[in-house]
Chains A and B, each alone.
Chain A
Amino acid sequence: EAQVTQNPRYLITVTGKKLTVTCSQNMNHEYMSWYRQDPGLGLRQIYYSMNVEVTDKGDVPEGYKVSRKEKRNFPLILESPSPNQTSLYFCASSLAGGSLATDTQYFGPGTRLTVL
């Protein structure tokens, strides 16, 4: 089954404790992206990757890191989490990204993160 998976689905942690949220897709997609969703603000892009070893900042990258060493994986790293990073996080992938008008994004199930 074609899908985007994220782990963990739920995480409660404390300020300053490094954590990684994994994301994997099995559709051989070039483009992957991370979003956070907050009440009243909608989804906002954190980072995206056009291909292996190619990553770039989205609208709200502060406090986050990413890597793209393999095509299928795109982990999100919080080096020193803070309470304002409490949010619902989504990973997404699409065939090509860029200006392709037919490009549909597929989303993972989300990771609910609470930072105390």
Chain B
Amino acid sequence: KQEVTQIPAALSVPEGENLVLNCSFTDSAIYNLQWFRQDPGKGLTSLLLIQSSQREQTSGRLNASLDKSSGRSTLYIAASQPGDSATYLCAVKSGANNLFFGTGTRLTVIP
């Protein structure tokens, strides 16, 4: 069964700093990998989706990479802002009908 791990569990950075969130998974047979953002009291918002055939995806200040063979993905956030404070979840689509989620990294950007 696919297992997804996110390290660190929590991260605090000063505003303006660039940062990297890490995600690892045990089974490289995946269809895609998604990064989500979760705000307290709200649902999950999809940030980026990387297909298994792709190496990276970019959206604004966010860049996600995928190394399927090593079972790793990173989410790079440039020039962090207080509004980026949230929990970031990594999810792997492995098996036709399920997403396997990590437990998330709680990010705090300090003004």
* Interface positions of A (Cβ within 8 A of B): 4, 31, 33, 35, 40-45, 48, 50, 56, 58-59, 90, 92, 97-110
Contact = CB atoms under 8 A, between A and B. Distances in A.
Contacts, number: 67
User: Number of contact residues on B: which range applies?
Assistant: 20 to 34
A42 B43 contact: no
A42 B102 contact: yes
A97 B89 contact: no
A42 B104 contact: yes
B89 A43 contact: yes
Which of A41, A50, A99 has the most chain B CB within a 10 Å cutoff? A99
A99 B46 contact: no
Contacts of A97: 96-97
Contacts of B46: 104-106
B58 interface: no
B98 A102 contact: no
